[in-house]
Amino acid sequence: MKLYLKVLIGLAVAVVTVFTQNNNCILTGNSLGNLTSIQQQCTEIVIENFTVPANQSLSLRNLRNGTTVSFRGLISFGYAESLGNLIVVSGTNITVIGEPGHLFNCRGERWWDGFADNNGKLKPLFFLAINLRYSSVSGLRIKNTPQRVIAIQSSQQVVFSNITIDNFEGDRNGAHTTIGFDLNESSDITIQGSQIVNQDDCIAINSGTNSYFYDNHCRGGRGISIGPLGNRSSNVVRNVHVRGCTVVNSADGIRIRTFANTTGQVLDITYENIQFQNIFDYGIVVRGDLRGNRPTGNATEGFTIRNFTISNVQGWVRPSAISVFVLLAEGVASNWRWSRVNLTGTRNINSCTGVPPNSGVQC
Ligand SMILES: *[C@@H]1O[C@H](CO)[C@@H](O)[C@H](O)[C@H]1NC(C)=O
Ligand SMILES: *[C@@H]1O[C@H](CO)[C@@H](O)[C@H](O)[C@H]1NC(C)=O
Ligand SMILES: *[C@@H]1O[C@H](CO)[C@@H](O)[C@H](O)[C@H]1NC(C)=O
Ligand SMILES: *[C@@H]1O[C@H](CO)[C@@H](O)[C@H](O)[C@H]1NC(C)=O
Ligand SMILES: *[C@@H]1O[C@H](CO)[C@@H](O)[C@H](O)[C@H]1NC(C)=O
Ligand SMILES: *[C@@H]1O[C@H](CO)[C@@H](O)[C@H](O)[C@H]1NC(C)=O
Ligand SMILES: *[C@@H]1O[C@H](CO)[C@@H](O)[C@H](O)[C@H]1NC(C)=O
Ligand SMILES: *[C@@H]1O[C@H](CO)[C@@H](O)[C@H](O)[C@H]1NC(C)=O
Ligand SMILES: *[C@@H]1O[C@H](CO)[C@@H](O)[C@H](O)[C@H]1NC(C)=O
Ligand SMILES: *[C@@H]1O[C@H](CO)[C@@H](O)[C@H](O)[C@H]1NC(C)=O
Ligand SMILES: *[C@@H]1O[C@H](CO)[C@@H](O)[C@H](O)[C@H]1NC(C)=O
Ligand SMILES: *[C@@H]1O[C@H](CO)[C@@H](O)[C@H](O)[C@H]1NC(C)=O
């Protein structure tokens, strides 16, 4: 009797093990039909050699607490013109892993037309993390996205590590607004050890608190950016720490930009140990005069940019580029401490406005 029971229990355990670990938790092929049941049943999900059908999202919005999602092999996407999201991830205590040898080949060249995401062809976003908490995303290898790569919205305590974004081919082929990381209303987001090759901001922090950007390499693109801020539902960026990054072959290196005639706050910002190479517009630019997305030359009051530290920024900007430029209304900026900023390029002596006293800023 006892033996019989043991065998029965053993069999049951074996069956359950096979069910939870096996093919039922692997999504492969090109149908999303099983994705809902996989999310309900599995905490170890594998997505392998999968093609997301055109005009659909790989929607991982119903993951169970503690789920790991691993990507293997080639992940590709059907073509449709839309502003949707190719991949969406939400949940708590989620681990997303790109396994060695996998690749997201978005074939963004099908969308690239020299226009922004919402002009010309409508272009989908690659990866939206929304309401993602206490989670990590690591090792993703991403090639040729239609527009923005990773948008992080309304999320908390998420670490992105070792992400490789390669939109290099977009330089010659009309890629636009391929922002690497786009942060919005999130807190405690860390991005580290990543390589970003693109045509727009390496990272754009639009709102939120406690954003950390460590040991990343930015190439192409428009640098490590805060904003442009103003005119959104939230216009406060607080506590940003950027450390140990390089910015190469980029229009700008570091930038903080706000729209004229809007209000908001940029507080507690530190950039340290940054290397530039071949910057062609501005090394460091802080300006409060945008209208639309363009500079007007007239900065306005309405923003506070307080406690802004820059320490140890070295490297070269092109001779024609301006190494440091600040255009703010008087009284907007306070408590800045810049030191060891050593950049080549044009020094536009006395061209800066709104720089607070004793800040160490040298224009
Ligand atoms: C996956 O889909 C196939 C065919 O559509 C079905 O037979 C199978 O039961 C599904 N598996 C799960 C885990 O839902
Ligand atoms: C995925 O593709 C790779 C390379 O073609 C192949 O080795 C592997 O067996 C595929 N996996 C599945 C589940 O089909
Ligand atoms: C699918 O198309 C509709 C209509 O154009 C659009 O609203 C939606 O965002 C698209 N979804 C995806 C994922 O592309
Ligand atoms: C998070 O998920 C892991 C499994 O991936 C689990 O071991 C751990 O207990 C979870 N943590 C919490 C606080 O739920
Ligand atoms: C999910 O995980 C978090 C920590 O990662 C834990 O605090 C929370 O209680 C868990 N929620 C549920 C519903 O298990
Ligand atoms: C990121 O890569 C570094 C260096 O290869 C490695 O030490 C680290 O464990 C990786 N981190 C994650 C979360 O994969
Ligand atoms: C920022 O997030 C809010 C909601 O959290 C959303 O409505 C808005 O579209 C997002 N903006 C951008 C630029 O992503
Ligand atoms: C702010 O938004 C309003 C309404 O959408 C628009 O009319 C105005 O031009 C915007 N201002 C700026 C500075 O972008
Ligand atoms: C700011 O608003 C004032 C008053 O409406 C207007 O005259 C000025 O042109 C605006 N500045 C910019 C840069 O849009
Ligand atoms: C200034 O900002 C840094 C982060 O960039 C923060 O650690 C520090 O506490 C802030 N100092 C004050 C006086 O708020
Ligand atoms: C900038 O300010 C000057 C002088 O106040 C004004 O004549 C001009 O129209 C303003 N330009 C814009 C774009 O607001
Ligand atoms: C500034 O950098 C140049 C090389 O880019 C170097 O030769 C020079 O010594 C540096 N100056 C200081 C004060 O660090």
- From 314, 340, 362, the mutation candidate for ligand 12 (largest count of ligand atoms within 8 A of CB) is 314
CATH code of the domain made up of 2-200? 2.160.20.10
pLDDT of residue 17: 42
**Domain-wise residue ranges, the chain:** 2-200
CA distance 300 to 227: 16
pLDDT of residue 135: 98
Q: Which residues of the chain have pLDDT under 70?
A: 1-22, 348-350
- Ligand 12 in reach of 342 Cβ (< 6 A): yes
Residue nearest to atom 8 of ligand 12 (CA): 342
Any idea which ligand is nearest the CA of 28?
A: 2
> In terms of Cα–Cα distance, which of 325, 336, 333 is closest to 303?
333
* Beta bridge pairs of residue 225: 204, 255
Give the rounded distance of the alpha carbon of 239 from its chain centre: 17
Q: 44: left (phi > 0), else alpha (psi -120 to 50), else beta?
A: beta
- From 206, 231, 257, 294, the mutation candidate for ligand 8 (largest count of ligand atoms within 8 A of CB) is 231
pLDDT of residue 4: 54
pLDDT of residue 345: 83
Do the bridges between strand 224-229 and strand 264-291 make them parallel or antiparallel, or are there none, so unpaired? unpaired
Which atom of ligand 2 approaches the CA of 49 most closely? 1
CA distance 276 to 165: 19
- Ligand 3 in reach of 84 Cβ (< 6 A): yes
Which atom of ligand 5 approaches the CA of 133 most closely? 5
Reduced to 3 states (helix: H, G, I; strand: E, B; else coil), residue 211 is strand
Reduced to 3 states (helix: H, G, I; strand: E, B; else coil), residue 207 is coil
pLDDT of residue 14: 45
pLDDT of residue 348: 67
What tokens were used for 135? 């989670």
Query: How far does residue 55's CA lie from ligand 3's centre (Å)?
Result: 5
Question: What string of H, E and C letters represents the secondary structure of 138-186?
Answer: ECCEEECCCCCCEEEECCEEEEEECCEEECCCHHHHCCCCCCCEEEECE
As to burial, measured by CB atoms within 10 angstroms (0-12 exposed, 13-18 middle, 19+ buried), residue 113 is: middle
pLDDT of residue 11: 46
Write the CB contacts of 225 (distance below 8 Å, at least 6 apart in sequence).
Answer: 201, 202, 203, 204, 205, 252, 254, 255, 256, 257
